[in-house]
Amino acid sequence: MASSEQGAPVSDGTPAIASSAAPVPTASAQTSASAHDAGHGAHGGLLTLMVGAIGVVYGDIGTSPLYAFKEAIAAAGHGGHGAAIARGDVIGVLSLILWALTIIVTLKYVVIIMRADNDGEGGTLSLMALAQRALGKPNKAVFLLAIAGAALFFGDAMITPAVSVMSALEGVKLVTPALDPYILPLTCAVIVALFSVQSHGTARVAKFFGPIMVVWFVVMGLGGLRHIADDPGVMAAFNPLEAAGFLARNGHIGLVALGAVFLSVTGAEALYADMGHFGKRPIQLAWFAITFPCLALNYLGQAALTLAHPEAVENPFFLLYTDWALVPMVALATAATVIASQAVITGAYSLSRQAIQLRLLPRMGVKHPSEELSGQIYMPRINWTVMIGVLLLCVLFGSSSKLATAYGIAVTGTMIVTVCLLSIVMVKAWNWPVWMAGLLIAPFAIIDLIFFGANALKIVEGGYVPLMIGGGVMVLMWTWSRGQSIVAEKSRADEMPLGDLAAMLAKKPPQRVKGTAVFLFADSETAPPALLHSLKHYKVLHEKNVILAVKFTNAPRVPDAERVSIQPIDDNFSKVLMRFGYMDEPNVPKALALCRKLGWKFDIMSTSFFISRRVIRVSNTKREMPLWQDHMFIALAQNAADASAYFHIPTNRVVEIGTQLAV
């Protein structure tokens, strides 16, 4: 089994081995944030990165004004057309939104959490890696927290495209109600188109999406600024006492409204998960220079319009604009919501690759469309799985208001996990005093718990959907991790150090056959299972035997001069280390031909490639997992990618030696 730091499909057919149920994470195979910035800077500079970040990272939170204020006012009991609206409620809701953006997004994520990067990569699993590394040993509680947060993020990744695109297209009803029946089909068509272009990579997507989102934020900010004069008193919302007063006056209704207010900050977790795509500095500058000011202006404008014209509560966002601008704004909003979905889609890619690297998911195909950044990736299986989930949600819920009830609980759950893991990183990795970390974390934790409680009120109405999705992903991750631990424990009895085997064969050599045998295996210090089983069953040894380990670097390409290195063990064995960049085609036979310059005359026609394929079956006696979980683990193992195809090894030169293992 050749290893891959990029999570590429380089398995030898067996499931990856983890040392325990809570594996010690390795560093993510990505460049640091500064390296990201430097790499991008050479191809366009900080401004280009900021525009790209606005398109990809802030798309989700940037489309929240389409529905957040409207849903929050409706939750406060003012959703009827032309209904009387209490001024204090409008100001209170607006104050909650503005302070949620300030505390949760600005302070918590942009300023503090983005400091916790794992070699430039963000997200729940990166925090887990930092926490586990700081603790110095596997911690089951940290492990379970992380997979819970990662699993809930996948629920968010499916709901965000559905609610964003549908909310934009529902604006056509203001143009003509006759288009209402076509909203759902149009939504599904737009979503299919969005997921179909993902293979071009976020670098190319960002070049197209970034400028559109800059226009979106500017137009959105100007639309709000235009209406602030309708009721300048909305500026009182910057007083946090207005938010506190609203909650105190409204009791249960205020808590329900708070759950809708949270819609204004959905996308903050994706902001952190997408950090590896652009780096910290461009994301932070984009927030302070464009995103936050434009969001605040738009919400202020919606509130002022609603106070001046209560009938606008039906759709305050689109009614910010004059009649002639309505159709262009619907078109621009549709484009913006398509882009909004990009934040969680790229976040899902990043999270999935980290899960593979941390051995929480089986290896899947990972493509690198960008030569500049290893962080910009495309994962076909994840892409199409998420797309199917999004389409199902659109069909099942049918409207953005119904989808909004399912929104929020997955994000708040992930945010709580993030706060818990961050507290460990602060104390153990950053060496902060416990009291200082607690002083900073406690307010965020309290706010997240309040938001979680507010969103929990919507579980019956639809909040169960992201919980079901997250629960399913969590079961998959736990099953894969636990199954690997069982396989590792049962395989240790058959392990033998390569040096011991070489010494034993030197003393008592077996029958020799002509040719070269190449054994693909991740650990060059241990005898590959394929070699041991070949000796056990065939009782022969080739003239030349090579233990081949493949490593992937963070560089786009590795020069041929640095591709391979050879380390002789004795007359029978040699170890070959083969390096590929993440943009290189991992062609093993072609790379082995370079060994001629190192003194080994490689001939593909006289070489056999031995790959061990472990077949997992259900034990008829003692089981470590329930029967259903055994079958799930076996199905995951069977779908792990094939090594020979990935490495371009000719099928007529491959010898697969299978072994059976009962779990």
Phi, psi of 363 (to 5 degrees): -65, 135
pLDDT bucket at 663, cuts 50 / 70 / 90: confident
Q: Of 30-39, 277-286, 474-483, where does the model show the most confidence?
A: 474-483
Residue 26 or 562, more confident: 562
Please answer whether residues 61 and 222 qualify as being in contact, where contact means their C-beta atoms are separated by less than 8 angstroms.
no
SS3 label, residue 480: helix
Res. 10: pLDDT tops 70? no
pTM for this predicted structure: 0.75
Looking up tokens 């590929």 gives 580
Predicted pLDDT at 355: 79
Alpha carbons 590 and 598: distance in angstroms, whole number? 14
pLDDT number for residue 111:
92
Residues 334-375: tens digit of each pLDDT: 888 877 777 678 778 877 877 776 778 887 877 766 555 545
Q: How confident is the model at residue 524 (pLDDT cuts 50, 70, 90)?
A: low
Q: Has residue 657 got a pLDDT over 80?
A: no
Q: Which of 580, 447, 494 has its CA nearest to residue 8? A: 580
Q: Is residue 22's pLDDT more than 60? A: no
Side-chain half-sphere CA neighbours of 72 within 13 A:
38
**Phi, psi (deg, nearest 5) at residue 170:** -65, -15
State the DSSP code for 44.
T
Residue 628, classified by CB atoms within 10 Å of its CB into exposed (0-12), middle (13-18) or buried (19+), is exposed
Q: Is the pLDDT reported for residue 507 higher than 70?
A: yes
pLDDT per residue over 537-581, tens digit each? Answer: 888 888 888 888 888 765 657 888 888 888 888 888 888 888 887
Q: How many CA atoms lie within 13 A of 64 on its CB side?
A: 29
Q: What is the pLDDT of residue 523?
A: 65
- Exposure string for 185-224, b = 16+ CB within 10 A, e = fewer: ebbbebbeebbeebeebbbebbeebbebbbebbebbbebb
**Hey, is 519 helix, strand or coil?**
strand
Q: What is the DSSP string of 185-221?
A: HHHHHHHHHHHHTGGG-HHHHHHHHHHHHHHHHHHHH
Name the burial class of residue 304, with classes exposed (0-12), middle (13-18) and buried (19+) by CB atoms within 10 angstroms of its CB: buried
Question: Is a pLDDT exceeding 70 seen at residue 204?
Answer: no
Has residue 494 got a pLDDT over 80?
no
Give me the pLDDT at residue 476, please: 92
- Binned at pLDDT 50, 70 and 90, residue 424 comes out as very high
To the nearest whole number, what is the mean pLDDT of the chain?
81
Which carries the bigger pLDDT value, residue 138 or residue 135?
A: 135
Mean pLDDT of 584-610: 81
Higher per-residue confidence, 239 vs 15? 239
In this prediction, residue 303 has a pLDDT band, given cuts at 50, 70 and 90, of: very high
Q: Name residue 567's beta-bridge partners.
A: 575
Angle between helices 140-169 and 380-397 (to 10 degrees): 60
In the sheet that holds 564-568, the strands lie side by side as: 564-568, 573-580, 540-552, 511-520, 607-617, 654-662
Residue 75 structure tokens: 């939750």
Phi-psi region at 61: left, alpha or beta (left = phi > 0; alpha = psi -120 to 50): alpha
Residue-wise burial string across 496-531, b where 16 or more C-beta atoms lie within 10 A, e elsewhere: eebeebbeebeeeeeeeeeebbbbbbbebebbbbbb
Residue 82: is its pLDDT beyond 60? no
Of 442 and 26, the structure prediction assigns the larger pLDDT to 442
Give φ, ψ of 614 to 5 degrees. Answer: -90, 125
Cα 286 to Cα 443: distance, rounded to the nearest angstrom: 25
CA distance 381 to 154: 13
Tell me the pLDDT band of 79, cut-offs 50, 70 and 90: low
- Alpha-carbon distance of 415 to 309, in angstroms, equals 36
CA within 13 Å, CB half, 465: 25
Contacts of 486 (CB under 8 A, 6+ apart): 624, 625, 663
Decide if 549 contacts 3 (C-beta within 8 A). yes
222: confidence class by pLDDT, cuts 50, 70, 90: very high
pLDDT-wise least confident of 35-39, 84-88, 527-531: 35-39
Contact 223, 393 (CB under 8 A): no
Q: Which amino acid is at 495?
A: E
CA gyration radius for the chain? 28
Name which residue leads in pLDDT, 289 or 204.
289
Q: Is the confidence at residue 333, as pLDDT, over 60?
A: yes
Per-residue pLDDT at 218: 96
The least confident of 41-55, 250-264, 448-462 is 41-55
- The partner residues of 544 in beta bridges, in order of sequence, read 516
Residues 396-423 pLDDT 10s: 888 877 787 777 787 888 889 999 999 9
pLDDT category of residue 305 using cuts at 50, 70 and 90:
very high
> What is residue 644's predicted lDDT score, i.e. its pLDDT?
78
Q: Retrieve residue 358's tokens.
A: 């941390």
Going by C-alpha positions, the residue among 447, 356, 454, 430 that lies closest to residue 29 is 356
Residue 376 reports pLDDT greater than 90: no
The Cα 628–Cα 618 span in angstroms is 10
**C-alpha to C-alpha distance for 58 and 287, rounded to whole angstroms:** 8
Judged against a pLDDT cut of 90, whether residue 295 lies above it is answered with yes
For the beta carbon of residue 591, count every other beta carbon within 10 angstroms: 24
pLDDT at 379 over 70: yes
pLDDT score of 33:
33
Cβ(239)–Cβ(74) below 8 Å: no
**Torsion on CA atoms 220, 226, 229, 233, rounded to nearest 10:** 0
Please, are residues 477 and 360 in contact by the beta-carbon 8 Å criterion? yes
What do you get for the CA distance between the two ends of the chain, in Å? 20
Confidence tier at 9 by pLDDT (50, 70, 90): very low
What average pLDDT score do residues 15-23 get? 34
68 or 177: which leads in pLDDT: 68
Q: How many CB atoms lie within 10 A of CB 43?
A: 13
